[in-house]
Structures are given as C-alpha cells and as structure tokens.
Amino acid sequence: MTGATGATGATAPGGARLEVLGLGAAHGRTAVLHDVRLTVDPGGWLAVIGPNGSGKSTLLRSVLGAHPHSGQVRLDGAPLTGTGVRARARQVAYAPQQPVLPEGLTTRDYVSLGRTPHRALLSAPRAVDRRVVAEVMGRLELDGLAERLLTTLSGGEQQRAVLARALAQQPRVLLLDEPTAALDLGHAQQVLDLVDSLRRQDGITVLSTLHDLTLAGQYADRLALLSAGRVVAEGPPADVLTPAALQRYYGARAHVVAGPHGPAVLPLRGPG
Ligand SMILES: Nc1ncnc2c1ncn2[C@@H]1O[C@H](COP(=O)(O)OP(=O)(O)OP(=O)(O)O)[C@@H](O)[C@H]1O
C-alpha cells in the first residue's frame, strides 16, 4: 500500500464537521439508541466502541440514513437527514460490517460502483472515474485482484474491496463498521494506516466502530463508549479506556498500558 498521494485525488472535497444530535433508534418496538450526541471535527477520527449489542452498527446505519431514527445528523451545520440518496452518497460513504457482495462482478467493477453517485444515471465511466478507481485500488493493493470475481476473494481481500468502493465515492465522511474484522494484523494495520493518512492528507472525517480496543486506542483521536445504546464516556482514548470502564461496561479484567500513540489494552486471564 503506497502512501503519499491522496487516494481521493486532487478533486477531494475535504472533510466536514459531523454532528449527531439527540439520535434515537429502535429495532421493531425495542429502543436500541437513546439520545446519542457526538461531534467529529473535519479530519477527525471518532471510534465508537462498546460491548456486543450496544448499538454501534445501528448508530452508523442511522448516521448513513439507512436506519430510521429520531434526532438529527448534520454536516457542516446542514441537516443530512432528509437529503436524497445520491446527494448523501456524495458526502458520506459507508463500509458495512457484513456487506452484501453481488455475484458475477469483478473486483474492479465492484469498486467502480463507488463512482455511481458522481455520474449521470446510466452514463459510461469518465476518465476521472477510471482514474479515481485505479488510484484507490493501487493504494489498497487490489491491482492483482482487479479481474477476479469478487465472490472468489478471501474475506480479508473482500474487506479491502469494500473499503475501496467506499473511498472511490470520494466522501467527506467515511463510516467504517469494523473495518478490520476479517483482517490479519498486518492487513489491519495497512487499512488503518490508509484511513489515517486519508484523514490527515485529505481531511476526510472518520466515524468507525472498532472491536479491537488497542487498535482503537492507537488510531482514533477520540473514542465514544456505548453501553445499552447510550454514550457513557467520550473523549481522548486515554480518558475512555480505563480498567474501571472495561470492568464496568465489558465485565472484563484488563490492564491498560501507555503505547506510543495511545493506550493499549492487555486482557488478564482469570485466577483459575
Ligand atoms: N434486524 C434486527 N432486528 C431486531 N433487533 C436487532 C436487529 N439488528 C440489531 N438488533 C438488536 O439491536 C441491538 C443493537 O445491535 P447492533 O448490531 O447495533 O449492536 P453492535 O454494538 O453493533 O453489536 P456487535 O458488537 O455485536 O456487532 C442488539 O440488541 C441487537 O440484537
């Protein structure tokens, strides 16, 4: 994965201030998010952490507009709630935890779908579309897999393709649901390093979920801890990742040690 040039190219619009104001959401009659309030500055990276079922994926899908919710989502002060799908897709891209991968598409064709919101309906790809797709695929080391059917890729390769499709959208805000779930440590670092460089170089604003608390502590500049659908702690990683919070909200025994870029979590085995 190469670094220097912006993966979203010279035309990248830069990040936006993302505000989530009093967001509530339910699945059926069961409320799963309650009055969630979050702000991510342009170029910032907020990682939402929390135990299984605390509402992280539902929060991201609500911000995307793919899940019904109350409250408001704003970009640079303007409500995103209610904007059309194409207009929203030019601003916000989403890489889901469990993407539905279409049959019969090559990796390149799949990544090219990320250009759809920027093109007129049914129009052929333009030079700029091909350039952005090639640039993103190069940065995610997908060149050698370009002509392979997406469904034949390994889980980790598919995850990189899903991220590439989201980046090809040239979004101002990137929503990443467990972007490293299927990745080995080296590929997880590559993907997170890329996301980090995108926010630093192109100013893309990142809202992600991350189960791996050490990776969250190293990469995100702020964490929000969700418990039963409520934000119970929010701030710099060292303030949120404390042994007391891990015990209280995860029921976990762990040491938290200072790493070079943030706290690292060391789980402790039980006394037995
Ligand atoms: N389609 C659905 N129908 C009913 N309940 C759902 C549905 N999807 C999620 N839920 C419930 O909503 C709650 C929040 O789920 P969500 O997937 O947002 O949590 P999460 O924090 O992302 O979990 P995980 O860490 O396990 O991925 C959970 O109790 C879950 O069982």
Query: Does residue 203 belong to any structural domain of this protein?
Result: yes
- Domain limits at 244? 18-99+173-267
Q: Which residues pair with 177 in a beta bridge?
A: 209
pLDDT of residue 133: 95
Q: pTM score, two decimals?
A: 0.91
Q: Measure 121 CA to ligand 1 centroid, in angstroms.
A: 34
- 137-146 pLDDT, tens digit per residue, is 998 889 999 9
Q: Total domain count for the chain?
A: 1
Query: Does residue 115 belong to any structural domain of this protein?
Result: no
74, 19 Cβ separation under 8 angstroms: yes
Q: Give the residue among 172, 139, 175 at the shortest CA–CA distance from 15.
A: 172
- The residue whose C-alpha atom lies closest to atom 28 belonging to ligand 1 is 53
Query: Does residue 156 belong to any structural domain of this protein?
Result: no
Q: ipTM exceeding 0.95?
A: yes
- 92-133 pLDDT, tens digit per residue, is 999 988 888 889 999 999 999 999 888 777 777 788 889 999
- The residue whose C-alpha atom lies closest to atom 2 belonging to ligand 1 is 27
Query: Does residue 111 belong to any structural domain of this protein?
Result: no
- Sole residue written with tokens 């070079």: 260
For residue 165, give both structure tokens.
């499709």
142, 114 Cβ separation under 8 angstroms: no
- The residue whose C-alpha atom lies closest to atom 26 belonging to ligand 1 is 52
Q: Any idea what the CATH number is for the domain that residue 212 is in? A: 3.40.50.300
Query: Does residue 94 belong to any structural domain of this protein?
Result: yes
In a mutational test of the pocket of ligand 1, which residue from 57, 64, 98, 175 has the highest number of ligand atoms less than 8 Å from its CB? 57
Q: Measure 226 CA to ligand 1 centroid, in angstroms.
A: 12
Residue 9 has pLDDT above 80, yes or no: no
Q: Which residues pair with 223 in a beta bridge?
A: 47, 235
92, 63 Cβ separation under 8 angstroms: yes
